[in-house]
């Protein structure tokens, strides 16, 4: 601090704005001037503090592990993010349990809505909406109307809640949130018992719990109804494989004292729109790691229309976790003509060949290993979807085949040689995923150190 600024110093913007006092200044003018100077100094000090904090934040971030999660929609990016929280900062994550409770309740209601819509299509198609002949008023139809009536308060509540989260996206069937909006506080519906009666009243009107509890028998009856199951089977709709499916657990979730387990939270489905950066501070005692250090994870929306918004994050990223689900027999929700795995390959090719990303570490997660197992066990053959596949139809060979395809693209398309790092994961298996994430963090840190030494 060698150069002390003088009044009128032409390099000092602050003093430039405050002209020196004139000789004829009155006492009143002087008091006013001093007050103005003090106020201006206060503003200047606050700006300095903000700049200092920002510099500190950028410096800390530069040294920290920074990860960008990429992959198609429903590949499991947000689920891997939850695994990061559970592995490195579980105590902070506990505080969000209430939020996930509401998401899970909304997921359950979405599935109920879906079943009711399917039944309406099946038993009450458009042209028969008002039965004109008595024989159309079958026991099935009467049952459906009774169930719909019984569950109508739930559907109303779901509409209200999803609307409050993202009005432009409500009605899409998913719980959608826009990154950067305070969606977590909107869903944190249970307030402490010390809350005012007014806020408790508000809570009960938007909290699905009591309506769910009151509808529990109706929900269970709907899901266990033999005629309902037959319709789903005939239409080959395996709802249990859809995102955010909780109907098997309706009895447990629609209870007064329901608290979500870690597994429930990872299974909960929220569609990400936009991009969201999460700062995690490693907690003491977690995985024997250096507590207090930070991990920054950016989660993005993966649907085709959202991919344009990834590009601004490419410039500063040092590690990308690319999530590809092992879903060889599924198509994209936004374009049912496109096979999911084909879409993952084409995205991976773009990421591998990008010059902007040539210095970033690429780590591939072949996710939804459990879904692959269940699909193969159900007798679905890979060859039907991938004609070039000529190996046994088991998890080991199928995984090896896809892994090698990803590896070959990386080798062929990377602007400069880079290692192939690939892990098979099931984001629902939180302890196995935690072990993978600890290893991934170490790899990134090691690479960062090597890069720093080369500079
Ligand atoms: N069975 C199974 N389900 C998974 C796995 N990983 C994720 N899921 C489920 O798949 C659904 C979609 O996962 P998300 O993490 O929301 O997907 P995303 O990639 O963030 O999707 P967008 O936000 O739309 O881009 C969720 O309901 C998850 O619980 C897995 O390994 N196995
Ligand atoms: Mg997501």
For residue 306, the ligand closest to its alpha carbon is: 1
Give 144-148's long-range contacts (Cβ < 8 A, gap of 24+): 144/116, 144/119, 144/120, 147/116, 147/218, 147/221, 147/222, 148/116, 148/120
Residue having the nearest C-alpha atom to atom 13 of ligand 1: 76
For residue 7, how far is its CA from the centre of ligand 1 (angstroms)? 62
Query: In the prediction, which pLDDT does 194 show?
Result: 45
Residue having the nearest C-alpha atom to atom 12 of ligand 1: 74
For residue 183, how far is its CA from the centre of ligand 2 (angstroms)? 14
Query: In the prediction, which pLDDT does 61 show?
Result: 76
For residue 267, how far is its CA from the centre of ligand 1 (angstroms)? 7
Query: In the prediction, which pLDDT does 17 show?
Result: 57
Mutation choice for ligand 1 from 68, 69, 79, 260, CB with most ligand atoms inside 8 A: 79
For residue 77, how far is its CA from the centre of ligand 1 (angstroms)? 7
Query: In the prediction, which pLDDT does 193 show?
Result: 46
426 CA closest ligand 1 atom index? 31
Q: Measure Cα distances from 56 to 13, 61, 131, 150, 306 in Å.
A: 24, 8, 70, 56, 32
Q: Encoding tokens for residue 198?
A: 């007014």
Residue having the nearest C-alpha atom to atom 22 of ligand 1: 73
Q: How far apart are the first and last CA of the chain?
A: 30
For residue 299, how far is its CA from the centre of ligand 2 (angstroms)? 7
State which H helix or E strand residue 101 sits in.
helix 97-123
DSSP 8-state code for residue 339? B
Query: In the prediction, which pLDDT does 141 show?
Result: 76
Query: In the prediction, which pLDDT does 185 show?
Result: 76
Angle between helices 139-165 and 209-224 (to 10 degrees): 140
Mutation choice for ligand 1 from 71, 72, 78, CB with most ligand atoms inside 8 A: 78
For residue 82, the ligand closest to its alpha carbon is: 1
80 CA closest ligand 1 atom index? 15
Distance CA 241, CA 89 (A): 29
Residue 227: CB partners within 8 Å, gap ≥ 6? 140, 143
Query: In the prediction, which pLDDT does 2 show?
Result: 40
Query: In the prediction, which pLDDT does 137 show?
Result: 62
Residue with tokens 């269940």: 374
Query: In the prediction, which pLDDT does 288 show?
Result: 64
Residue having the nearest C-alpha atom to atom 29 of ligand 1: 267
Q: What does the longest C-alpha to C-alpha distance in the chain come to?
A: 104
Query: In the prediction, which pLDDT does 19 show?
Result: 66
For residue 344, the ligand closest to its alpha carbon is: 1
DSSP 8-state code for residue 426? -
Give residues (CB < 6 A) around ligand 1. 71, 73-79, 243-244, 266-267, 269, 271-272, 301-303, 367-368, 370-371, 426-428
pLDDT in tens, the chain (455 residues): 344 444 445 555 555 556 667 778 889 989 999 999 999 999 999 999 999 988 887 777 777 889 999 999 999 999 999 999 999 999 988 888 888 998 999 999 989 989 988 988 888 776 555 554 445 566 777 777 877 888 888 888 888 878 777 777 666 667 777 777 777 777 776 544 444 544 444 445 567 888 889 889 889 988 998 888 999 999 888 888 889 999 999 999 999 899 999 999 999 999 988 899 999 999 977 666 777 888 999 999 999 999 998 998 888 788 999 999 999 999 998 899 999 999 999 999 999 999 999 989 999 999 999 999 999 999 999 999 999 999 999 999 999 999 999 999 999 999 999 999 999 999 999 999 999 999 999 998 888 888 777 65
Closest CA to 361 of 441, 287, 269: 441
Rounded-to-10 torsion of CA 191, 196, 197, 199: -50
Residue having the nearest C-alpha atom to atom 27 of ligand 1: 243
State which H helix or E strand residue 106 sits in.
helix 97-123
75 CA closest ligand 1 atom index? 19
């Amino acid at each position: 601090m060698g150069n002390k600024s003088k009044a009128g110093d032409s390099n000092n913007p602050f003093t430039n704005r405050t002209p020196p006092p004139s000789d004829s200044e009155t006492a009143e003018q002087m008091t006013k001037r001093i007050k103005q100077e003090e106020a201006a100094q206060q503003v200047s000090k606050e700006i300095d503090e903000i700049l200092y904090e920002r510099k500190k934040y950028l410096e800390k971030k530069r040294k920290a592990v920074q990860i960008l999660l990429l992959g198609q929609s429903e590949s499991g990016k947000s689920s891997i993010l939850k695994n990061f929280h559970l592995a490195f900062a579980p105590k902070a994550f506990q505080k969000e349990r209430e939020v996930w409770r509401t998401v899970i309740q909304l997921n359950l209601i979405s599935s109920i809505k879906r079943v009711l819509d399917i039944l309406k299509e099946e038993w009450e198609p458009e042209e028969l909406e008002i039965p004109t002949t008595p024989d159309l008023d079958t026991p099935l139809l009467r049952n459906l109307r009774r169930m719909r009536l019984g569950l109508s308060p739930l559907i109303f509540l779901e509409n209200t809640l999803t609307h409050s989260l993202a009005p432009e996206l409500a009605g899409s069937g998913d719980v959608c949130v826009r990154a950067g909006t305070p969606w977590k506080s909107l869903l944190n519906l249970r307030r402490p018992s010390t809350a005012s009666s007014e806020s408790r009243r508000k809570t009960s009107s938007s909290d699905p719990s009591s309506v769910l509890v009151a509808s529990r028998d109706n929900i269970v009856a709907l899901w266990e109804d033999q005629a309902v199951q037959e319709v789903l089977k005939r239409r080959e709709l395996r709802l249990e494989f859809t995102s955010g499916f909780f109907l098997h657990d309706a009895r447990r979730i629609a209870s007064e004292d329901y608290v979500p387990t870690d597994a429930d939270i990872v299974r909960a489905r929220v569609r990400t729109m936009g991009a969201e950066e999460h700062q995690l501070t490693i907690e003491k005692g977690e995985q024997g790691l250096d507590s207090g250090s930070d991990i920054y994870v950016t989660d993005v929306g993966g649907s085709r229309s959202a991919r344009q918004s990834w590009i601004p994050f490419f410039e500063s990223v040092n590690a990308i976790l690319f999530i590809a689900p092992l879903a060889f027999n599924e198509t994209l929700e936004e374009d049912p003509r496109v096979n999911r795995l084909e879409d993952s390959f084409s995205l991976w090719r773009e990421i591998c060949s990008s010059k902007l990303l040539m210095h970033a570490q690429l780590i591939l997660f072949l996710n939804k290993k459990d879904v692959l197992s269940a699909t193969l066990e159900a007798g679905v053959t890979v060859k039907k979807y991938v004609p070039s596949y000529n190996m046994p139809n088991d998890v080991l060979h199928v995984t090896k085949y896809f892994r090698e395809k990803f590896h070959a693209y990386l080798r062929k398309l990377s602007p400069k040689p880079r290692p192939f790092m690939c892990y098979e994961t099931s984001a629902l298996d939180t302890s196995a995923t935690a072990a993978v994430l600890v290893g991934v963090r170490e790899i990134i840190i090691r690479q960062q150190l090597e890069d720093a030494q080369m500079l």
